Structures are given as structure tokens and as C-alpha cells.
Amino acid sequence: MSTTLEHPVPAAPAGGREPAPADGGQSAATGPGTQPVTMAGALNAAMADALAEDPRVLVFGEDVGTLGGVFRVTDGLASRFGEGRVFDTPLAESGIVGTAIGMAMNGLVPVVEMQFDAFAYPAFEQMSSHLAKLRNRTKGRVSLPIVVRIPYGGGIGGVEHHCDASEAYYAHTPGLQVVTPGSPADAYHLLRQSIACPDPVIFLEPKRRYWSKEPVPAAPDAELDQAVIRRPGKDVTLIAYGGMVGTALEAAAAAAGEGWDAEVVDLRSLSPFDDATVADSVRRTGRAVVVHEASGFAGYGAEVAARLTEQCFHFLEAPILRVTGFDVPYPPPSLEQHHLPSVDRILDAVARLQWDDHA
Amino acid sequence: MTAPSTITERVAAALPPSATPLALIDPDGHPVVNPLLTMPPDDVLAELYRLMVIGRRVDAQATALTRQGRLAVYPSAHGQEACQVGTVLALREQDWLFPTYRDTMAVLTREVEPAEALSLLRGEWHCGYDPYERRVAPQCTPLATSTLHAVGVARAAQVKQEDQAALVLLGDGATSEGDTHEALNFAAVWRAPVIFFVQNNGYAISVPLAKQTAAPALAYKGVGYGVRSVLIDGNDAAAVYAAVQSALAHAAAGHGPTLIEALTYRVEAHTNADDAARYRDDAEVQAWLARDPLARLEACLRGRGLLDDAAVARLGAEAEQRATALREAMSGELDVPPADLFEHVYARPTRTLAAERDFLLDELASHRGAEEGGS
């Protein structure tokens, strides 16, 4: 399903982050340490460390071997660990996930890549009917410790089928864990935790953050299924994940200038959902805005808003608002800036949280 | 063997299947000389027959249990006994079997406990047996998806350098699904030790083969992928056994997958809930009954002096015992703990699932309380 029509490493959007170097922004895999690494590099290091520690771990998918992936996230892994453990597959996503299931049944730990969000759809039956259900089908006798890595979301000027925020499909499927890192620091540990998880994990990688850089701490700041408060605040909770965590943090910084002290919660784990951390935050602040790139209708934010309403109703000072992509197919690069949630839209939503009523 | 490196060598490795189905025993029970398949020894022929007699009787019993409401549904393999038994008997202990919903006879032949094997069709649980105990995957109900799982299992055996193969059962309909084609391709590229065993029984529920494919034979679907492909008489248990053994040897030698198309016939309707009279003539069924796999093997064994009336009577009694055991295994009422709904979705229940489990258990307790209070 993947095409070779697009430039494999899209340039960063104008006025945005630094453009991607030709090697995808990384050299040798570097994990935890004081040196800043890109998210792509942190993910690379996580796989390298997992491959080195556990002979059962395999990495495979389209172009992940010799080329090192179209985003170079698997750069150097095939030459370091050999083509027996890091290899290219035929171009067929159902085949990649389906054979990963068989390999896991027979004792291996596959980490597979779907090249782009929308190219994962041919594998959807394997993920929803088998990856998600085999443990339950067999009363827990068959575990599938598989990680399906999916570069997802927009903001990189990608053409059609390269920018979908497809998290809701997976989050709606019992039996899957769905996680997404918001930063390089978290990416390393979240992927290590996902590979160690006995259950299948859909690991969504926000493409727009592949080239952001920061040091990776030695230890994770949360478990695989926990949300983390990235910025404490007392007036309003901004709830975001993946590519929108950075945007929410920017919005929080801007909001401070307008007198709002915003707390930012990075969900990390979309399924299961960390009710405790998020509800605790919203009970403290009394206001919440959920931010995601995907379309709003029946989107992930609807679940978040519903749960928080059920759990925090008497603490709320205003309805929970959502800032999401429009309910349209993902737009061409010329229009994507109108579609994606922005700092301004988040600030506008914060402004609509009925402050005057309680001033 | 080194990989074929030229087009000519690749063509030689992927010759089209024979023009007529390979057989070792003709429909009248006479041996057929066939240079491509080896006639199994006498003791194997006798064992094939014994297991097919048991298989047919137990299959009939399962169908009867649907009429008594003891099974929710049962897709019969009547007429396909040679495929069901021949494949399983040829497999080694370390090999994996990937069955579909129609292959309960194969699952039972692999010695999975009947009560566990029929859990799915009884409506008790999706898969009642431990797949690792006999290396039998859960019965596949979407069809074709399991072909990829079999290739993955085989690939893992390669990675671990273990002498192990996987045999996946599929039907004529499943060869139209994309996963079958992806599986054939992956298996060929990886030279995975996997056997695609297609039971071409003429129908995908109601749709006949002519509406399913324009291929000269389903076995041709392997050729384009570079998969060794053979067409056999699927009502000849000796041919089934020999073809699977040959495919296992091919795989063990590192030559990769084999596609076996076995021509057979689904004598019963799709399931007890289906009405085959809506889409096929009785004359067609009668013609296939004349090619009955049990009668053929029985004639062969009698001709070789390996079977007499007394032995047939003994086997009949043994099969009857198995049928009785199945009846008894299915006689109790189902008692599935409601909390099992939540137990195995994840390695450990999530907070949400734990809350939902508690909700259900409280609800059930309050219903019980209300019933007790009201009586």
C-alpha cells in the first residue's frame, strides 16, 4: 500500500522546527544521557537496547532493514543486529502483522512498523480480530507481546494517506494498548515499556515531533499505562497526547501571559486511560480542554470529555471543551494549517470556559 | 539447496501442478502407480482408516447434537475425512496445525479433548483448548487470516533453528482472500516451513468454485509466488498423507512452503443451519458419494488383506464409544463464570475492566437477592 511518490522525509513546515537532516536527525543510537537526542534517535536507541538485551526481539516491516526506515527510525539496526533479526518484508501490512502474530505465538517478540498511519489499514483485521483478541480467545494461554509502531498524524506537509490521526480506531478495540509519546525523553522509555509489555501495544509516533530534541532521562517518569502532568497549573487542565503535547505546552506558556495558569496533562496511554491522574487534575482546576489532531466527531476527545464529566461533574466550572481537527478527510498540505489545532485555538477555547461567571 | 538464481531455475522450482489430481488409490480401491507420491506403509493405511471411521461417526454425532440443542452450530466435514485425518496423521508432534471451523475432525484427530475442542461450537468459549498442548491453533472463523499466523509460526521456527513446520487448513473460498496471497508470498520469500492445505470442497457456503475463481486449479495460485504447488485427490487418504509428508520433507530440507490443493466434497450443508438444496442438485451429491473416501480406503485395505468384517465391526464399536463419549461430554449444562468476560482481555485487568467486572458481579448479586427476597 505504501507508495514511493512522496519524499520519504518531508521537510519541516515553514516557520516550524529545524528541517530534518538527511540522516533523519540522528547518528549512532543514543539512549539515556545528557546529550540531546531526537525522538527518532530515542526510538532507535530503545529498539537497539531491546534487541541487545533480549534475543527474542525482532524488528521488521517495509524498508526498515537496509534503508533504516523512511524516517530512519531503524537506522543502523540491521547492520548491527543482522538481517535475521532486523529485516525488510514484502509490501503487505496485513502480512506484517499477521506473521508477527504467528511469531509471537511461537515465542518471539516482534516490533513491527507500519510505514504510515493510513497504510496500516490493510492490517486492521489482523489487529482488531486477532492481535487484540487472541489472549482472550484462548483464556490467557496465548500472549502476544507485539509492538506495532505507526508514524501518525500531520503537521509535516505530507500528502494524502500520510497524515491520519487514527488513534480512535485502535483505542476503541478492547485487547489493545494504545500509547503515544509527546517528547523524545518519553519516547525512549515508552517504547522500552511497550516492548516489555505482555500485551500488544499500538505505538503511535507523532511524525511532527520526530526531529525535536532533548536529553533522555535514565528512568521513565511513569508506568506504561500512566498519564503525566507536564506542566503544573491551577486554573485549567489542557489534556493532550502525541504531537499535541508540545502545542498544549506552548499554549500554556502563552496563557500565562494572559493570566491563566494552565496545567498540561500528557496522556501517554490512550488505552487504558489513566482516569486517576486526569480526573484529579480536573477536580483541582475545575476546567478542562481536550486537544487532538483527529476529527472531533466520535473522536478520542469525546471519550475523555464523557469520562471526566461522569467523574468530575460537581467540580466543573464550565463544560469540557474540545479543540480538534475538523470533521473532514485530512487536507492537502496547502490547507493543513487550517485543520490542525493551534495555540490560538487552544487559547480561544480556554477563554470560553465561563471565567466571568466565577470572577 | 541454494536459492534458484536464474529465471530458468525459478521456473523449474515452481512447475505448474499436474493436469489431473495425484492419487495413490483410485475410487474403486485399486492402487495407482504414481512417481510423485509414495504409498504409505500398511500400518499407516490401517490407522488412516481407523481414524476416518471414528471421525465420520463423531462428526455425525456432533451434527445430531445441534438438533438436541447441545451444540449451537456445527459445520460438518462429512466427505472430507481423508483430508481431516490424512493431514494430521502425517504431522509430527512438534508441528503446528491451524484449523478452521470446519476442521473439528482434524482437531479431534490431533487428540484435543472433545469437550475442549467443541467449546467454540457449543457457545461456551471462543477456544476451549490450550493451543500449546497439542500445537493446535484456535479454529479460525474469519478464514484466511490464519494463513499468516501459520507463516509466522514457521518463520519463528526458522529463526530459532528448530525442526518444526506449520500446516494451515483452508478452503476454496479462502483462496480468494488477500491474506492467503500475502501468506503465500511471505512464505515463499522467507522459505518458511509451512504447508497450505486447501480443501477444495466445491463450495464456499453457497458459492460454487466457478464463481470463486477462473484459475485452472487453485494450486496454480501458488505458482506465481514461487511456492511448490500440487493438486491431489482429496478423497484419497493415502495421497493426502503422502503429499503432506513430502511437503514436510521439502520444508525440513530448507526448500520452503508447499501448497496442496485437495479435491474433495462437502457432503452436508455448510452447517446445520444451512439449506444446500437452494444451491446444488442432489445428483451432484450422489456423484460424489460414489467417490467416498472411506469406501475407497476400505476396498483398498480389504484388497490387501488388511481388513475383514470382524475388524470393521471392531472399529465400528470403537467409533460408537467415541460418539457416546462426545454425547456425554456435551450433556452437562454450561457454567461459564460471568467474571471470565474480563479476566483475559489483558495480562491483568485494567482499572476500567476491574470496575466493569465489579459492576456485573454486583448486578448479579442484587438480582439473586431480589429473587431470594421475592420467593
Domains and CATH numbers, chain A: 37-214 (3.40.50.970), 228-358 (3.40.50.920)
Residue-wise pLDDT for A31-79, tens only, equals: 899 999 999 999 999 999 999 999 999 999 999 999 999 999 999 999 9
- B109 and B160 assigned to the same domain: yes
What does the pLDDT read at residue B15? 73
Number of domains in chain B: 2
What does the pLDDT read at residue B9? 61
Instruction: Judge: A90–B189 Cβ closer than 8 Å, yes or no.
Output: yes
- B284 and B364 assigned to the same domain: no
Instruction: Judge: A107–B160 Cβ closer than 8 Å, yes or no.
Output: yes
Q: Which domain holds residue B353?
A: 340-374
Average pLDDT over every residue of B273-292: 94
CA of B72 to nearest chain A CA: how many angstroms apart? 17
**H helix or E strand, kind and range, residue B293:** helix B293-303
- B348 and B317 assigned to the same domain: no
What does the pLDDT read at residue B4? 52
Give the CATH number for residue B138.
3.40.50.970
Residue-wise pLDDT for A123-182, tens only, equals: 999 999 999 999 999 999 999 999 999 999 999 999 999 999 999 999 999 999 999 999
- B127 and B224 assigned to the same domain: yes
Report the mean per-residue pLDDT for chain B: 94
Structure-block grid coordinates of residue A88? 525488510
Residue B2 lies in a domain: no
In this prediction the ipTM stands at: 0.95
User: Is 90 exceeded by the pLDDT of residue B219?
Assistant: yes
Q: Which of B145, B150, B352 sits opposite A126 (nearest CB)?
A: B145
- B240 and B170 assigned to the same domain: yes
- B13 and B95 assigned to the same domain: yes
Residue B334 lies in a domain: no
Note if B149 is an active site residue. no
- B279 and B350 assigned to the same domain: no
d(CA B62, CA B68): 10
| Chain B residues with CB within 8 Å of chain A CB | 96, 125-127, 130-132, 137-138, 142, 145, 147-157, 159-160, 166, 178-179, 182-183, 185-186, 189, 340, 343-347, 350-352
Question: Contact at 8 Å (CB) between A44 and A54?
Answer: no
- What DSSP state is assigned to residue B296? H
- B264 and B369 assigned to the same domain: no
Best of B95, B146, B159, B168 to substitute, by most chain A Cβ atoms within 10 angstroms, is B159
- B215 and B345 assigned to the same domain: no
- B56 and B138 assigned to the same domain: yes
Q: What is the pTM of this model?
A: 0.94
Collect all residues with Cβ–Cβ distance below 8 Å to A75 and sequence separation of at least 6.
A23, A24, A26, A29, A44, A68, A69
Tally of CA atoms within 13 A in the half-sphere of A133 that contains its CB: 18
- B216 and B192 assigned to the same domain: yes
d(CA A250, CA A229): 15
Tally of CA atoms within 13 A in the half-sphere of B264 that contains its CB: 33
